[in-house]
Amino acid sequence: MKVVLQKSGPAKVEIENKVHGEIKSGIVLLIGVTHDDTEKDIEYLVEKISNLRIFESEGKYFEKSIIEVGEEILAISQFTLYASCRKGRRPDFIEAAKPEVAKPLYDKFIEKLKEKGIKVQTGVFGADMQVHLVNQGPITLIIDSKLN
């Protein structure tokens, strides 16, 4: 699994001009799933994201985790994270898992974040979504469960 993590102020996801998920501040996650991902990948990413110190405390940056500050997560499925642009001019999505594989893993990932006590809002898997966010910092990190 691969995640693009962005520390964010207000963020929302719209589907057909209606807000589906919205947070006041916290983290926006774009989540990609590939063919050989398992619950082990989910466990690694959930632990890493929930304990990653990217929030400030008493004027010091990178001191507290999302759990410690009580912020929220907006999680969006993003198969294009596994696009290859090596050949030609059109991205190749062969490394992205098919929906029947990816959706259950994405759903399990969201469930595990919520089990950590984190408030999580989401988009809709496979939908055409418009994601709006205010990137703070800016802090943008790429976390790949295969590169741990």
Active site residues: 78-80
Using only C-alpha atoms, the chain has a radius of gyration, in whole angstroms, of 15
Cis peptide before 10 (omega within 30 of 0): no
SS3 127: coil
